[in-house]
Amino acid sequence: MQVTPVSIPRWADKYLAELEEHGMPYTAAKAAGTTVRAVERLAEASADFAYYLECATEAAADKVEAEVRRRAIDGIDKGVYYQGDLVATEKQYSDSLLTLLAKAKRRNQFGDRAEISGPGGAPLTVNIRSFSANLNATIGPALAQATTQPAPRLHHPHGVLPGSAPTLDSSDDLV
């Protein structure tokens, strides 16, 4: 199989830098003078760009995690005011961000747990029975009818079925 090289548009570097800085695809696309759809098409066409896109996304996520950690563990200085005047500062820590960080990093230890039990905390009893006879009697006639009739034709007001992606042709470009 021959691979056709994809030329990377001029906006790609700017987009990746903006995405890495802010982590917001639409904002990055606007700053780079492109659209999110053009970015998606380029990522589909170029494995190299897709890799750099993933790296920029991870770098942005790392910045968010670092800020969560700073606010949860190092805390932030909040002003203490008396009659409208700043009289002191105090360090405030975010318990909710610390909980979020702990759950993300140590899910087994800090993650939410759910336990299912029977009445009064007793062990739960599960009865397993065969459904094949009942299932065949219930859906067999409907299944036979569905396989003999043609499927209804679906229409969409814009001419594109939901879930079907438009294809690129030679008149489309990635900018």
- The CB density around residue 97, as the number of other CB atoms within 10 Å, is 16
pLDDT at 10 over 80: yes
Residue 170 has pLDDT above 80, yes or no: no
**What pLDDT is recorded for position 131?**
60
What are 18-46's pLDDT values in tens digits?
A: 999 999 999 999 999 999 999 999 999 99
Query: Looking at residue 167, what is its pLDDT?
Result: 45
Report angle CA 17, 6, 170 to the nearest 5 degrees.
120
Top-confidence residue, 119 or 148? 119
pLDDT score for 77: 95
DSSP state of 154: P
Which CATH architecture fits 11-78+87-109? Orthogonal Bundle (1.10)
- What ranges do the domains of the chain cover? 11-78+87-109
pLDDT over threshold 70, residue 136: no
Angle between helices 47-69 and 36-45 (to 10 degrees): 120
Strand, helix or coil for residue 87 = strand
Backbone angles phi, psi at 27, to 5 degrees: -65, -40
- C-alpha span between 66 and 97 (Å, rounded): 11
pLDDT at position 89 is 95
pLDDT band at 111 (very low <50, low <70, confident <90, very high): confident
